[in-house]
Structure 1
Amino acid sequence: MPTVRTVSGFNKRLEAAKNKVVVLDFYARNSKPCQDIDQLVQTLEYKYASKAIIIKVNVDKFDELVDEYRVRSMPTFVFLKCNHNVAKIIGADEHKLTRMMAEMCETE
């Protein structure tokens, strides 16, 4: 699963996503909810690999992305289609995340 290392790397990953759904996984390393949902995130990434890309963004390293996507708690999942923000899930709700991934990827 790609993890953002630089803002330019983030932008390149967005460009490379082309027509795929992009899910930005805003996380903090010391967040228990982020750790708890990480296995599901990996499973969903594998399941929808042909239709979606998940990009992990460490909130402690990328203030500008946190501000741009208005992230206030972790984890936060931002769904993009054609570089447009189309949905957001705040918190480690496995049911919501699973349902949203299915909805976003089935409409492709």
Structure 2
Amino acid sequence: MKTIKSEGEFRDITGASGTVLVDFFATWCEPCKWLDSILESIDASLPDGSLILKIDSDLYSYLASEYEVRSVPTLLLFVDGKVAWRMNGFKTGPELLEVMETFSRGT
């Protein structure tokens, strides 16, 4: 799991091939903290070529606006550089792994 430090880093990673789950969060958001625990628990079990990115929606509000993030937490799944799935709120670890595995297989 990686926390984004710049817009360039965000665009480089999400624009590359592979499956990238992006967590738009805020430091003041309690549900974001719960989701962080879930993401940490699944990080080691991700499908090959998959990555979890965290991006602070307050620090990078223009990116949150660009991707129409209206509430936190919001998850976006990028597949080969394009948003393929999105969700507001959170799912359990097994549910998130299932989503990532499904999209990493291309189904």
Shorter-chain TM-score category?
Answer: 0.7 to 0.9
Unaligned runs of 5+ residues in structure 2 are: none
The question of 1:22 aligning with 2:50 is answered no
Q: TM-score by structure 1 length?
A: 0.84
Q: Encode CA deviations 1:40-79: one digit per residue, 9 max, x unaligned.
A: 1112221115231111010110011101111011111001
SS of 1:64 mapped into structure 2 = helix
TM-score, normalised to structure 2, is 0.85
For the 8 Å contact 2:79–2:104, the answer to whether it is kept is: no
2:12 maps to: 12
Distance in 2 (CA, whole Å) between partners of 1:29 and 1:49 is 28
**Separation of aligned partners in 1, 2:72 and 2:98:** 19
The CA RMSD measured in Å over matched residues stands at 1.9
Q: Say whether the 8 Å CA contact 1:45–1:52 is kept in structure 2.
A: no
Which amino acid is the alignment partner of residue 13 of structure 1? I
Say if 2:47 and 2:104, in contact at 8 Å, map to a contact too: no
What are structure 1's unaligned runs of at least 5 residues? none
Kindly provide the CA deviation profile for residues 4-63 of structure 1, in whole angstroms up to 9, marking residues without a partner as x: 111112123235xx4320111100111110101212111222111523111101011001
Contact 1:44 1:101 in 2 (8 A): no
- In the alignment of these two chains, the number of paired residues is 106
**What is the aligned partner in structure 2 of residue 93 from structure 1?**
91
